Amino acid sequence: MNLGDQHDLEEHPGEEASPVPGVPVEEPGGPMERVEFQEEFNFHDGCWTFPRRGRRVCILFMTIGLMAGIGVGIWLLVLLFRTNALLKILQQESIVSCTEKPLTPTESKSVSFRINTRDFLLEVQVKAWPGWLLVCHEGWSPALGTQICEHLGHLRLSYHKGVNLTDIKVSNSQEFAQLLPRLGSHLEEIWQHRNSCALGQVVSLKCSECGVQHLNSRVLGGTSAVPGRWPWQVSMFKGPQYSCGGSLLAPSWVVTAAHCVYRLSHMSRWRLFVGIVNRSDIVLHMGAVVEKIVLHPSFRNHRQRHDYDIALLKLQTPLNFSNTVRAVCLPEMQQDFPQGSKCWVSGWGSTVPHRGYGSDTLQNALVPLISSQLCNSSCMYKGMITPQMLCAGYLDGRTDACQGDSGGPLVCLDRGIWRLVGVVSWGWDCGKRHRPGVYTKVAAFLDWIHHQIGGE
């Protein structure tokens, strides 16, 4: 981690020739003699061949032509100077535009959810109504619970139940939301405002656990991580050779970059390790075995461009979660982390550009998100950033992901939960000015991820 494919003229001396063929050369010391060539060469004396009146007209036209020529020349010179000045201004503006613009507030979502961590009560906020509303249990279903958990960035619904309002402390001003009998509608369209719940019960639910660290300790430009800092970090070995990074989404599922695995010929050669910090501690035959690799169907591997660069790996045996082995959360539906958000990238990649070997210890580094508009500008990646990509890093280089970090996580902290915002994908060199790291944008693949894992 660089936290960090004309001719020469020929001369003939000694030869003496007349300047014009047929013109005699003056003999040295001889008298000067004017030679007339008018008839031989069809030359004429211009205006002087006209009568006196015609001569004046001719001279007038010549003067006008000369003045016009001078005017055109001056106009061309002015145009040239103005063009050069304009080019300098454009160059200066392009340099100025290579900076992040101030953050602009994003429009709030039409519907938001949260789960009270004290008693796991579900709350909904609908744009049309102020405040957070408890959800009445009438019309509730497990399918809706799964849908809400996925909306919140979790893979599964763990449990749900109805809780009596008499068993919990609810303020007199508390308001509620009740489900409309249209379960096939969008989540933002199925709620109606209520002052109370007819059955006196509200929904309590819990989603699959993710995005939580056991430790709160603190890649060129990076620092060494400690066990438990990034419990979802996966180290992928192909045979005895370290290959790529990955992120644990669930006990049986890992997400990585498609370019890490698309040329795989023997799936059984892969071994995946989670919960380790030092590669020297790895015992190769003890790693998790890959049962299935799912490439995104739109992935195409280009020489300098990796679009749809994402893949899912299913493990033969589910992993046991612990203080050092945990899943990372996905982004919420329609969640957009703004430019400048401070996120972390981690991996065992090279700490020095163009070095074939990586770091023995897991490295991590803080990198800010860069807007796609800036990253796509002429001073950076010149239109190569697609909607399935995002950029993170510093405009002056320094900290960056590098060779060997591919497939690893870019995570951002959101209200105490770590979310997988990007997958290390590609970049032009490591840690170079105006060449930030490019990541697969996980938020663009949420439906695909839930479809693949939910189908299992």
Q: Can 378 be counted among the known catalytic residues?
A: no
Catalytic residue among 243, 350, 406, 425: 406
Strand 191-194: give its sheet, edge to edge.
111-115, 122-126, 133-135, 176-179, 191-194
Judge whether 185 counts as a catalytic residue: no
From the list 259, 296, 306, 450, the catalytic residue is 259
Q: Which residue has the tokens 């280009």?
A: 302
- Residue 402 is encoded by which pair of tokens? 């590098």
The type of residue at 360 is D
76 Cβ neighbours under 8 A, 6+ residues apart: none
Kindly name the residue from 309, 359, 371, 400 that is annotated as catalytic.
Answer: 309
Does the annotation count 406 as an active-site position?
yes
Q: Which of the residues are catalytic?
A: 259, 309, 406
